[in-house]
């Protein structure tokens, strides 16, 4: 250290809070991205967020030890070895500090030992960091560095600090003083997530709620001007583009879809989420949209019947409305049992492209598309998915997608045109469909004016 730091140069916490609150809309997208991605990553390890909290509590005891003894450990040194020695596991202390029942803590510790995350060698206890997924907090480091960088830009604009710090500068600073910074980081984690778990009842509901807030806070109508925290709270409550979609939430978080549905209903009952009932009801009763949906259902039932056992093709779901972040969709579900001699991949290849893309009659529709469109669609309207070893799998239709050609990004959108279509409404639907991707891309636009 070349000179002693000046005590008077220290940032005033009240001043920082006041400035951030005034420019809250500039701060909040990065904040909710950070807290939502962290808890999603926590769930991905054991499908049990409480268990992950117990694990990082044990790790944090090492940070406490370093701090107590004046030891500074950098990032590379901390993660150099696959194993990390920890102190004696005290069930009562963990239960008290994390507000988890003692017996539940005990079961989680036993499970962590069973799968090899916690190991005992004579009198020593180790955590085997190669035995679970999120070993190094790469994503968390990047997100928190970006969040602090955004905060410094806000403070610089208000002339509260002489210059702002880039994300890379902050990232390197955290890595250099990792044990100190991550001890403070875990203090925030425990306080923030357990406070909201107490309010919402469980971590899975919190995980879903934070994802919804992250989606809503990136709404372009909330980031085009400076908005205080009070105004932001009012506007976020009435944001037109706040939507719910159990399927996409399940895909992003890894939480099973039936669980997502229950948790979303809980958020709605507690007033933390809502459904756009007006537009939802209009879609549910639209004869035009039902006619389009029924055409696709008939087409897909026909495609499946070629490969399915006689009488096994069923439609358990018809004309159900699912709400997405930007639009509502009318959803139907078709099930069938394949003939024993049919390979699932063969069925998939023969059924593509999907009937929701081509319309009917399928072959003639594809010929017309080929005649009218000057360029190939590439991956758009194709399919992406996977097969498991047991023959099960999941595939989608690539519609909400980005394609890169050199330095150019392409975004596609379209809709089904019928004799009942309204030109302006169909065009607006296309804009609604791409708005989420455009909002996402705008997050990476030049923000030097913030």
Same structural domain, 208 and 307: no
Share of the chain above pLDDT 70, in %: 84
Same structural domain, 308 and 170: no
pLDDT at residue number 449: 38
Whether omega for the bond prior to residue 353 falls within 30 degrees of 0, making it cis, is yes
Number of independent structural domains in the chain: 2
CATH number, domain containing residue 394:
3.60.120.10
Same structural domain, 434 and 293: yes
Same structural domain, 37 and 173: yes
Same structural domain, 295 and 191: no
Would you call 367 exposed, middle or buried from its count of C-beta atoms within 10 A (0-12, 13-18, 19+)?
A: exposed
In a domain, 284, yes or no: yes
Same structural domain, 331 and 191: no
Same structural domain, 306 and 164: no
In a domain, 248, yes or no: no
Same structural domain, 199 and 309: no
Domain end call among 160, 185, 212: 212
Same structural domain, 291 and 192: no
pLDDT at 448 > cutoff 50: no
pLDDT at residue number 373: 85
Share of the chain above pLDDT 90, in %: 18
CA 352 – CA 358 distance, rounded (Å): 10
Task: Give the residue with greater pLDDT, 327 vs 409.
Answer: 409
pLDDT at 19 > cutoff 60: yes
Which tens digit of pLDDT belongs to each residue from 43-89? 888 888 999 999 999 999 899 999 889 899 999 998 888 888 888 88
Res. 133 pLDDT band, cuts 50 70 90: low
In a domain, 6, yes or no: no
pLDDT at residue number 408: 82
In a domain, 273, yes or no: no
Res. 435 pLDDT band, cuts 50 70 90: confident
401: left (phi over 0), alpha (psi -120 to 50) or beta: beta
Highest mean pLDDT among 152-156, 220-224, 358-362 belongs to 152-156
- Domain limits for position 364: 278-442
pLDDT at 425 > cutoff 50: yes
pLDDT at residue number 160: 83
Res. 157 pLDDT band, cuts 50 70 90: confident
For the entire predicted model, the pTM comes to 0.62
Same structural domain, 205 and 64: yes
pLDDT at residue number 284: 55
In a domain, 295, yes or no: yes
Same structural domain, 30 and 111: yes
Same structural domain, 423 and 304: yes
In a domain, 2, yes or no: no
pLDDT at 209 > cutoff 80: yes
Q: What is the DSSP string of 212-236?
A: HHHHHHT-HHHHSS---HHHHHHHH
pLDDT at residue number 93: 92
Res. 327 pLDDT band, cuts 50 70 90: low
Domain end call among 169, 195, 212: 212
pLDDT at residue number 235: 55
In a domain, 79, yes or no: yes
In a domain, 3, yes or no: no
Vertex 252: Cα angle to 44 and 48 (nearest 5)? 25
Domain end call among 212, 240, 260: 212
């Amino acid at each position: 250290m070349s000179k002693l730091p000046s005590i008077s140069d220290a940032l005033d916490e009240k001043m920082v809070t006041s400035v951030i609150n005034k420019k809250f809309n500039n701060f909040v997208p990065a904040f909710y991205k950070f807290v939502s991605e962290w808890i999603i990553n926590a769930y991905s390890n054991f499908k049990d967020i409480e268990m992950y909290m117990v694990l990082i509590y044990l790790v944090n005891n090492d940070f406490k030890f370093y701090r107590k003894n004046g030891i500074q450990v950098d990032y590379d040194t901390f993660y150099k070895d696959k194993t990390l020695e920890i102190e004696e596991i005290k069930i009562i202390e963990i239960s008290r500090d994390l507000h988890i029942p003692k017996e539940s803590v005990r079961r989680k510790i036993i499970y962590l030992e069973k799968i090899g995350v916690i190991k005992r060698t004579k009198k020593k206890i180790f955590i085997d960091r190669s035995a679970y997924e999120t070993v190094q907090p790469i994503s968390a480091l990047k997100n928190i560095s970006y969040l602090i960088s955004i905060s410094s830009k806000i403070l610089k604009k208000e002339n509260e600090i002489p210059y702002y710090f880039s994300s890379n500068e902050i990232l390197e600073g955290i890595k250099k003083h990792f044990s100190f910074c991550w001890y403070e980081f875990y203090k925030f984690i425990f306080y923030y997530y357990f406070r909201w778990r107490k309010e919402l009842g469980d971590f899975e509901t919190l995980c879903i709620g934070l994802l919804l807030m992250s989606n809503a806070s990136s709404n372009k109508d909330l980031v085009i001007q400076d908005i205080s925290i009070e105004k932001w709270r009012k506007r976020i409550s009435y944001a037109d583009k706040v939507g719910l979609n159990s399927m996409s939430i399940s895909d992003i978080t890894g939480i099973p879809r039936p669980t997502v549905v229950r948790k979303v209903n809980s958020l709605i009952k507690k007033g933390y989420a809502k459904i756009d009932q007006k537009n939802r009801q209009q879609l549910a009763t639209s004869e035009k949209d039902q006619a389009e949906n029924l055409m696709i259902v008939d087409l897909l039932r026909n495609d499946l019947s070629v490969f399915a056992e006689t009488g096994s093709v069923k439609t358990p779901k018809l004309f159900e409305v699912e709400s997405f972040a930007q639009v509502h969709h009318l959803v139907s579900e078709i099930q069938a049992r394949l003939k024993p001699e049919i390979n699932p991949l063969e069925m998939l290849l023969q059924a593509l492209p999907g009937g929701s893309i081509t319309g009917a009659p399928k072959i003639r529709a594809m010929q017309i598309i080929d005649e009218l469109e000057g360029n190939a669609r590439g991956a758009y309207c194709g399919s992406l998915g996977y097969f498991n070893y047991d023959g099960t799998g999941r595939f989608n239709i690539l519609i909400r997608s980005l394609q890169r050609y050199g330095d150019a990004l392409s975004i596609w959108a379209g809709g089904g045109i019928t004799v009942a279509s309204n030109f302006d409404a169909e065009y607006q639907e296309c804009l609604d469909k791409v708005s989420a991707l455009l909002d996402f891309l705008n997050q990476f636009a030049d923000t030097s004016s913030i």
